[in-house]
Amino acid sequence: MYYKAVDLLKEMISRPSFSREEADVADYLEGVWREDGFDVHRKGNNLWFFAQPYDLAKPTILLNSHIDTVKPVSGWQRNPFVPEEDDDERLFGLGSNDAGASVVSLYGAFCRLSQVEQPNNLLFLASAEEEVSGKNGIASVLPELPPIAFALVGEPTGMNPAVAEKGLMVLDCTAKGRAGHAARNEGVNAIYQALPDIEWFRSYAFPEQSAFLGPVKMSVTMITAGTQHNVVPDECRFVVDVRSNEFYSNDRLLALIREQVSCDVVARSTRLNSSRIDVEHPFVQRAMMLGREPFGSPTLSDQALMPFPSVKMGPGDSSRSHSADEYIRLMEIREAIDIYYNLLNDLKGI
C-alpha cells in the first residue's frame, strides 16, 4: 500500500485543487477508488465510501481528511504542481503535507483494515473546502452519513494525537462617536470610544483554562476609522480574532463579550467550536501505548464541525503547511499507514 499511496499523492499534487476548485482531483480520486472496488458517493467535491460488509449493529468510525489546498505563496522555488523527490526522500508539492499525505495514508490503512473483519464499520471521507471552512465541504455531507461513534481526522501532527483543538470566532466590532471639526472642541471621537474595549480584549482572561489548549485567546487584528485628518471620526471599526477552548462555546463567548464591552459586536459565524476528547478514550489510550503524545492543537480543521468524538492525527509537520516548497517525507507516509492500521485494527469499546 505504501507505493500506491505515494503514487496517488503525486497524482493529487499534479492537479491544482484550491478550495472550492477541487473538481479535477475529486474526479481523479473518484475514478481510482471506483477501480479499487468501492461504491463511491459524491456530493459536490466530497467523496465517501464504506468498507463492506456494513453492519447497522456496529459502531461506525469515520476516517477523514481533505483534498483542497491553499494557493501557493510567492516564495516557491519549485513548481508547486510538479511532484518532485530529492535525495533525502522528501516529496515536494502543494498539498503534500497539508493534507495529501494524510488522505493517502488513511486510504492505505483503510484498505488494509477492510481485508479483515472489524468490530466497527469503517467509513472513508475525503472532504472539500476545509481550508476555508466552506459550507459545501464536510458540513454538507455529515447529515447524509449514519451515526458516527468516532472520527480520525488526518492533518499533519507528526502522528501524535491532537485530543483538543481550539475553536475560532471572528468578531466585527463598531464603536460610535459624533463627527466634528478636529480644530475645535466638538464631536465625540469614535477611536477614543473604542480604546477601552480594545484594551479589554487585550487584557481580559476568561476564568476557565484548558490543560491542553490553555486560555481563550482574543486578538484585535484590524482597525479602521476616519475619513481625513481634520474630521473627528464618528465610527471606529475593528476586528477581533477569538480562539476558544473546550469550556466555552462560541455562542456563550459572544454573549459574555457583549456584556463587557460598549461597542456593537457581530460574529461572522459561531459554527467553528473547540473540540476535546477524553484521554481515557480507547483510541487515545492505544495511541499512548504506542508512544504517541497527546496534545492540544491551536489550528483549525474539520474537527470543528464534528458533533461526535474525534482525534486529529496525521503524517507531516504543521509548520510546513501553507509554506513555500511544502514537502512530506516519504518515510512519514510509510509510518503513518502502519500506525493508523495498528491503532484502528480490532479497536473495541468506542
The pLDDT of residue 219 is above 90 = yes
Binned at pLDDT 50, 70 and 90, residue 68 comes out as very high
Distance CA(271)–CA(109), nearest Å, equals 31
pLDDT score recorded for residue 55: 93
Q: Residues 321-333: pLDDT tens digits?
A: 989 999 999 999 9
Contact 246, 213 (CB under 8 A): yes
Q: How much is the pLDDT for 2?
A: 85
pTM given for the model: 0.91
pLDDT of the residue at 185 = 83
Mean pLDDT across the chain: 96
pLDDT above 90 covers what percent of the chain? Answer: 97
Contact status, residue 87 vs residue 12, Cβ threshold 8 Å: no
Question: CB neighbours (10 Å) of residue 96?
Answer: 29
The contacts found for 191-198 with CB under 8 angstroms, 24 or more apart, are: 191/225, 191/226, 191/233, 191/236, 193/236, 193/262, 193/263, 194/223, 194/225, 194/236, 194/238, 194/263, 196/262, 197/173, 197/261, 197/262, 197/263, 198/223, 198/238
Confidence of residue 1 (pLDDT cuts 50, 70, 90): confident
Q: Which residues contact 184 (CB under 8 A, 6 or more apart)?
A: none
The C-alpha cell at 315 is 503524517
The percent of residues above 70 in pLDDT, for the chain, comes to 100
